[in-house]
C-alpha cells in the first residue's frame, strides 16, 4: 500500500484560489466548495479548511496566520472579513455547512 502525502499547503492553495475566483458571490463560493469536495479530501484537511473559512488562511499554533502576507495564500472570503452583522455571519455559516 502506498501512503498519501499530507500536504495541507497544497490543499490551502487550491481552496484559496477557488474562493478568490468565485468573487463576492456566496452562492458561487458554495458551488465551488461543493464541487471541490468530490476531489479534495475535506476530512483529511478539516482543520485547514476550517482555518480558511474562518480566518482566510492556515493558522499556526497560537492563532497566527501562515501566509507571509502573500495574497495568493489568503482570501478575504471568510468570517473574519465578513460584515459585522448577524445576517452576514449567518450567510457565511450556511456556506460552510452546505
Q: Is residue 54 a part of any domain in this protein? A: yes
Predicted local confidence at residue 24, as pLDDT = 84
Helix, strand, coil tally for the chain in percent (to 5):
55, 0, 40
Q: Is residue 43 a part of any domain in this protein? A: yes
Predicted local confidence at residue 90, as pLDDT = 85
Q: How many C-beta atoms surround the C-beta of residue 81 within 10 A?
A: 12
Q: Is residue 3 a part of any domain in this protein? A: no
Give the structural domain span for 46.
8-93
- Residue 1 or 57, more confident: 57
pLDDT tens for each residue of 44-78: 999 999 999 999 999 999 888 888 888 889 999 88
Q: Is residue 1 a part of any domain in this protein? A: no
Q: What is the mean pLDDT of the chain?
A: 88
Q: Is residue 74 a part of any domain in this protein? A: yes
Question: What total number of domains does the chain contain?
Answer: 1
- Residue 88 or 19, more confident: 19
Amino acid at each position: 500500500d502506498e501512503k498519501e502525502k499530507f500536504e495541507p499547503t497544497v490543499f490551502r492553495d487550491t481552496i484559496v484560489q477557488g474562493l478568490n475566483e468565485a468573487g463576492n458571490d456566496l452562492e458561487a463560493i458554495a458551488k465551488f466548495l461543493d464541487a471541490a469536495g468530490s476531489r479534495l479530501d475535506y476530512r483529511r484537511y478539516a482543520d485547514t479548511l476550517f482555518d480558511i473559512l474562518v480566518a482566510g488562511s492556515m493558522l499556526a499554533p497560537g492563532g497566527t496566520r501562515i501566509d507571509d502576507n502573500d495574497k495568493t495564500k489568503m482570501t478575504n472570503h471568510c468570517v473574519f472579513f465578513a460584515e459585522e452583522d448577524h445576517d452576514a455571519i449567518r450567510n457565511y455559516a450556511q456556506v460552510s455547512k452546505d
